[in-house]
Amino acid sequence: MKNQLKRYWNFRILGIPKAFSIILKVSFISVYEKISSFFWKFNLKECGSNVRLQIGVAIRYPQNITIKNNVSIGRGCKFESEFDDSLLLINKNTQINKNCTIDFSGNIVIGENVLISENVSIMSHNHGYNPHSEPKKIRKTIEDNAWIGSNSIILPKVEHIGKNSIIAAGSVVTKNVSPNSIVAGNPAKIILTIE
């Protein structure tokens, strides 16, 4: 119990009111997220067990999204599409952290045990050289056990992020990523192959 209280209180008497208000707020948000996650299940195409969508998640075309078991979607994430027939599949044991934007216009499959860190942007359509042209779909697959570091950008031309790959924080990925590789930079390049 004391370890739990340490998160919100420094054990000084005058800190009690603030700690109490924080505990109330955290408890309210936790209950809200459980209720919200429960109702999202009925709005998605398919939803597994132990799926948690935190506060502020925004989803366009939820009827086109399948989420498997044990998936966590962080606060402020946005799932968007330019088309009403695009599909997004998020496989089991995947974690998408706060403030990520996933454009699934071109259809995206996210594998099992994938970790997408905060503030990542993934795009799956482009307009070529004319910003007013019709968007073009670009299919994208992120394979099992991939880890996409915080503040990374996955540009539309990327169709494949390989199994067990790591994208370093802040990278701008402009081409496909091979399995078992670590990429970093702008544009991202292979810096290490994982044995």
Answer yes or no: are the C-beta atoms of 67 and 86 closer than 8 Å.
no
Set 125, 127, 132, 160: catalytic member = 127
Q: Which structure tokens are listed for 155? A: 């540009």
127 is catalytic: yes
For residue 109, give both structure tokens.
């499959």
Of 182, 180, 136, give the one whose Cα is nearest residue 159: 136
Q: How far apart are CA 185 and CA 172, in angstroms?
A: 6
How far is the C-alpha of 27 from the C-alpha of 119, rounded, in Å? 25
Q: Is the dihedral of CA 74, 159, 125, 81 positive or negative?
A: negative
Q: Please, what sign has the CA dihedral across residues 185, 187, 190, 194?
A: positive
Tell me 70's DSSP state: S
Q: Where are the alpha helices (DSSP H) in 2-65?
A: 2-6, 16-40
State the catalytic residues: 127
